[in-house]
Chains A and B, each alone.
Chain A
């Protein structure tokens, strides 16, 4: 009797340990991010520690920004609740490895999409959320409205960055002369520009708008509309998890399509009554697009109702409704002067 009790206990313990180990292994090695996310009840988003307009926490730890809102849109699509997104600040140099090691489900952290990043880290950038690029800031009093008018300028730039290389390429390609004033730190370059050591200052356009906010007289400086380099900022996911990649990609495309169709967080209930085929497919009154993604048929309605369409998110965080006031430029819809374009839902 005693003996069989001990044996039973041993077997029971062994089974328990095996089950626990299997559960841990399942949790660690299950590569299906959607399943993991649903089990956990939260989307883990890797974000920038603090970049005004894109992702920044307030004193109470509430996050806001363009990148933050995109992650909330993914959470809204899955859970019908944008607060089911948890934000994990990541450094620039650790972000891709942290995504690879499954510390986060998605990186929504002003990351430029390029070929080497997809190849070297086994990652995938599903779609471009924001077309950034290098531009120029100069004193309004110089009265120049095109980068082609910068011939002979002294240009402040941060040394040993792609920014400095792009600058050289642009002036060479357009047969213009310039004098480069290099600084190891971005802050030093900005200060030198403000002290009048240069005629113009160059950096990514979103950065120029953020830096201009902190200048004593922002309105005395203009940022030219010219974009001289390609910095497509995109969310990032792991390769070989197509179901998850599809959800991230079509969340963004649903937001862009909603703007193009005139569907906003304010008129979403009206849109649900629409008889226009494009709108009916977007809001799930025609087809099974949401179910085919592994979500519900009202997946896009959830995104638009809780977070808004692409234009609303843009204006609120970085556009005219924000402090940054970055003109839509390249990020305007393709039929409205920009290049932001989503494949149709059909």
Chain B
């Protein structure tokens, strides 16, 4: 696989790991006084554990796993809404695969499917659109979920449905944005972060400038990164060099994919179809201003919230007893320090948000054994 294998080259990795160690020593980072770097995106969390990067880099570097796993941060009440819609007679409910197992307060979509709801896994909202064309007598609802990476394709499917006059298609919109929760984390008085590795696929859409406030207003470095191990190691090195040199800039390690100003066609589709909600609830983080999107008035005919009379519930969920997802997500606690980790909360029976998807920090710890290995 060209353009993939090169970025998994062990020789290049060794060179970068050595360079990271040098700069970490120059900064004076130690196991006791580590540099805290947050990888925002769940894809990065997954890659760090899959390749064991957390154990290969200098011991003075601690990865804090950010809120960038859309399945993990979805409030349980929104899963309940999905189930309610899916259980309506005549509805075909379509979703990305990894949302199937997310627990609601009553049940998950996979349980609702077993009980008879017509729920189908799709790989793109365009698949849902095709289902709507082929089933004119059914209402096909797409579970719109994810950050700026998936937002444009949902927007395009709504625009296409509007063009075709396809009235039996709608989107249950739960799209959220990356910069706002980062700001919320930076405003948290408990915050211990020294720098960020930014999600490359989000910036492919929005460019790098939406992160300017991180450097300008909060004085923290951020490097927009690709998803292969070499990308991640190089980005960590770039963050460390900024810290060493007393700089705080937005840098782009993933320039082979990320244009400085993003993708204008995607941005236009997003602007045409969505507007900001005043606030939106995040599992583990609570409500965050302007962090969620809803469908604009001119496309309300394709808005499942409108069609099914579902409102946005103002209060975020109460997390289950003993669940420390909020502390983990703000970097105050390691997943393994949570009293429920591996006990009440496992991938097969997730309690909290971060154990739900394979990209959640706790699930990654559990699956790849970051600290199951260390702890035992």
Q: Are A and B interaction partners?
A: no
